[in-house]
Amino acid sequence: MRGCLAKLTLTALAICAMTGQVFAACPMELAVYSDNTGAAGIDFRPAGENAVVTNAFRMVMDQGVVLDGQVMWTEQEARPNAIVSHNCPDGDVTGEEYAACTLWQGVVYSVDELGKVGLLPLEGVPAPKHLIFADLGGALRASRAFGEQKFTKVPFDVFELKGCQE
């Protein structure tokens, strides 16, 4: 009986791996997510040596538009505060200039396989099954980057883990 169960378990794991259902070993900084409408994908990447930024990502929209994302944890109430921006100037920027290129700002929540809600994990921690960017779709639709000659679709606020970068 044990041999039969072991074979079934290995077969189930193989099927899950082939269908993209097992990503437990994927660290947060290599995780790839997509919303269920197909309007946007998120590719996390290592934040590098920046002491303030704990997570970094690209949000790929339609029309080839790429939005930049970074996460910084707040100090008083420990929360992963994310900022999604587009075409921010490099170098020494004023707060006004940075606000003008910021499209969305908010806390990123995670949801594991059991439905437990938490906060976005730091780099090196396994990526959760889902991420929630509350009111992302509404903010992007209202942004200056939405519309003709820019991206034309907005994502749902929930993103599902789709894979892991090599």
The domain limits of the chain are 25-164
Please give the helix or strand (H or E) that residue 91 lies within, else none.
none
| Contact between residue 71 and residue 59 where contact means Cβ atoms under 8 Å apart | no
User: Taking the CB of residue 157, how many other CB atoms lie within 10 A of it?
Assistant: 17
**pLDDT at 75 (0 to 100):** 86
pTM greater than the 0.85 cutoff: no
Amino acid 105 reads Q
Among candidate residues 35, 52, 56, 55, the one with its CA nearest the CA of residue 131: 35
Residues, the chain: 166
**pLDDT at 4 (0 to 100):** 39
Concatenating the DSSP letter of every residue in 2-14 gives HHHHHHHHHHHHH
**103 pLDDT more than 80:** yes
What average pLDDT does the structure give for the chain? 86
CA dihedral 26, 30, 35, 41 (to 10 degrees): -160
What is the pairing mode between strands 130-133 and 117-119?
Answer: unpaired
**pLDDT at 32 (0 to 100):** 98
